Amino acid sequence: MEIPKDKKLLSVAEASQYAGFAEQTFYDWIYRRKIEYVKISRRVFFKKETLDRLIEENTVKPREVSHD
């Protein structure tokens, strides 16, 4: 499934593909309110910016290597 670059809201299935997490992980996070989401009627969507921020905030940076 190809996700258009200009698409602002992603479904759970699209978010799963985009971020590489299982759909069930997103449903768990929604239930626990651990992730920001958009609810329109009964459907749930995620902003791409939210997913990008989630990935960036949880990226472990390498340590500085000292060359003694």
Task: Output the pTM of the full model.
Answer: 0.81
Give the residue extent of every domain in the chain: 9-57
Quick: pLDDT tens for 45-55: 999 999 999 99
**Residue written as tokens 């995620």?**
46
What tokens does 2 get? 């190809």
Quick: pLDDT tens for 7-41: 999 999 999 999 999 999 999 999 999 999 999 99
Using alpha carbons, list the distances in angstroms from residue 33 to 6, 59, 60, 67, 68: 26, 21, 23, 44, 46
The Cα 3–Cα 13 span in angstroms is: 11
* Residues 6+ away with beta carbon under 8 Å from 15: 21, 26, 46, 51
